[in-house]
């Protein structure tokens, strides 16, 4: 197949335009366009594409990702043992009650909280994070703390990762802070990744998106807020994490408690957000019906899903989709930013999309970049460095859109290769 034929297939040529558009949007948001270090941006983009090519197009990369996904499958099976013991027949999805989210999904978060607590105690997570940090930092020329946090966010999540660099937080510049915040918004934690995989989202693409997000989030952050200050943080940083666990059993116990708290929060947010969405859709339905009645018109009923689809439709086109599929993808992207990625993935799995479309959209949705997470960052990071809370608050909206742009950038690159 010729290069032109390849680009025309699945409208991949639009993906190249999409990459340019995303970089242009980030530049438009920039606090100092003349200060953008384009060498860093181009290096990060090349690293981003290289990682995507490695994990999607080479046998070695596919084997590694498939092996890691296989490990996750074994972990889900292990979690099912505990779930079945506690919930009995309710955990069997082939029963008359079918799939129960609170039974099959939320307990997985509890299990992974315990598992991550154990890996932390054994310093396995810290070793993995530091290893990736030592590879990426010299390539991009970023400082140790910001790079380390961006890498850690791909494994731990936006409230846990800053703990690794909490000794450096008070000395970090605004540019470094934005890298930390956007990398938190543009990635997901290992526990939540496990939940999405159990739901049916392709685990190999979730894992690939997590690694690709590291250079993508740094790239977007450095365009939006270029480094113009002299950083007083050390160029090289080591992961610091205060161990409060006396032994491995204590670590598992604490991890279980953390996982339970996270599971309760996820369940509560789903209840409240879906209820609010239902209320808003009901209000829109009432307004449309009453308007048609009072003014003798026949305008179609507007829902939040349609509004999301209209706003984000251009990104769906740039991903190469058309027709009804483009509308559906636009709706999913909008739902992810306005509500959260969990609701968006749930809707995606019900839409009957093609396998390739599901794979590409997985990258676009793989991040915490939604408005509710602003409060999580203010509360989490703000508690570690109260004197910088004002920075975190002022960067909140910017971090959400920056994380969303990083996810879309990964989707554009993945679409080029899939």
pLDDT digits (tens, 9 = 90+) for 409-418: 999 999 999 8
Mean pLDDT of 354-380: 87
Q: Is the pLDDT of residue 233 over 90?
A: no
Are residues 233 and 240 in contact, defined by beta-carbon separation less than 8 angstroms? no
Residues 6+ apart with CB under 8 A from 274: 343
Q: How far is 167 from 385, CA to CA, in rounded Å?
A: 9
Q: What mean pLDDT do residues 291-297 have?
A: 81
Q: What confidence tens digit (pLDDT) does each residue in 90-120 have? A: 877 677 776 677 887 778 778 877 887 888 7
For 310-364, what is each residue's pLDDT tens digit? 889 999 999 999 989 999 999 999 888 887 888 899 899 999 999 999 999 999 9
Record the tokens describing residue 323, joined without a space.
């027709």
Residue 197's pLDDT is what?
Answer: 85
Nearest to 351 by CA among 329, 336, 321: 329
pLDDT (tens digit, 9 = 90+) per residue, 1-43?
788 888 888 999 999 999 999 999 999 999 999 889 999 999 9
Provide CB contacts within 8 A for 413, sequence distance 6+: 15, 19, 48, 49, 52, 212
Summarize pLDDT for 184-212 with one digit per residue, the tens.
999 887 767 877 888 889 988 998 998 89
Dihedral sign for Cα 38, 39, 45, 46, please. Answer: positive
CB burial of 216-242 (b: ≥16 within 10 Å; e: otherwise) equals bbbbbbbbbbbbeeebebeeebebebe
**What mean pLDDT is predicted for residues 217-229?**
92
């Amino acid at each position: 197949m010729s290069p032109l034929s390849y680009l025309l297939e699945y409208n991949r040529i639009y993906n190249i335009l999409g990459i340019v558009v995303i970089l242009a949007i980030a530049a438009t948001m920039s606090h100092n366009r003349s200060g953008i270090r384009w060498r860093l941006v181009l290096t990060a983009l090349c690293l981003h594409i290289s990682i995507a090519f490695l994990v999607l197009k080479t046998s070695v990369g596919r084997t590694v990702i498939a092996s890691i996904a296989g490990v996750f499958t074994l972990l889900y099976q292990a979690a099912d043992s505990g779930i079945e013991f506690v919930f009995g027949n309710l955990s069997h999805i082939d029963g008359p009650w079918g799939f129960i989210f609170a039974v099959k999904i939320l307990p997985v978060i509890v299990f992974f909280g315990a598992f991550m607590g154990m890996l932390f105690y054994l310093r396995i997570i810290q070793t993995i994070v530091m290893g990736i940090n030592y590879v990426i930092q010299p390539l991009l020329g970023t400082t140790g703390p910001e790079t380390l946090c961006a890498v850690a966010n791909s494994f731990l999540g936006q409230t846990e990762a800053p703990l690794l660099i909490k000794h450096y937080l008070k000395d970090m510049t605004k540019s470094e802070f934005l890298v930390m915040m956007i990398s938190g918004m543009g990635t997901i934690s290992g526990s939540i990744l496990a939940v999405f995989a159990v739901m049916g989202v392709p685990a190999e693409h979730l894992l690939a998106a997590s690694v690709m997000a590291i250079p993508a989030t740094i790239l977007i952050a450095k365009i939006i807020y270029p480094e113009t200050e002299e950083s007083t943080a050390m160029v090289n940083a080591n992961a610091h994490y205060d161990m409060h666990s006396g032994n491995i059993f204590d670590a598992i116990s604490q991890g279980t408690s953390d996982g339970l708290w996270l599971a309760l929060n996820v369940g509560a947010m789903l209840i409240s957000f879906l209820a609010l969405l239902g209320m808003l859709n009901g209000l829109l339905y009432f307004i449309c019906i009453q308007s048609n009645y009072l003014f003798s018109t026949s305008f179609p009923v507007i829902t939040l899903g349609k509004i999301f689809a209209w706003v984000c439709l251009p990104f769906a086109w740039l991903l190469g989709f058309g027709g009804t599929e483009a509308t559906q993808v636009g709706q999913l992207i909008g739902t992810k930013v306005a509500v959260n990625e969990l609701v968006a993935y749930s809707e995606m799995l019900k839409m009957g999309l093609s396998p390739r479309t599901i794979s590409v959209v997985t990258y676009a949705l793989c991040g915490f970049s939604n408005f509710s997470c602003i409060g999580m960052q203010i509360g989490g990071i703000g508690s570690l460095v109260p004197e910088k809370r004002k920075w975190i608050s002022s960067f909140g909206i910017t971090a959400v859109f920056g994380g969303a742009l990083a996810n879309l950038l990964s989707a554009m690159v993945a679409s080029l290769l899939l």
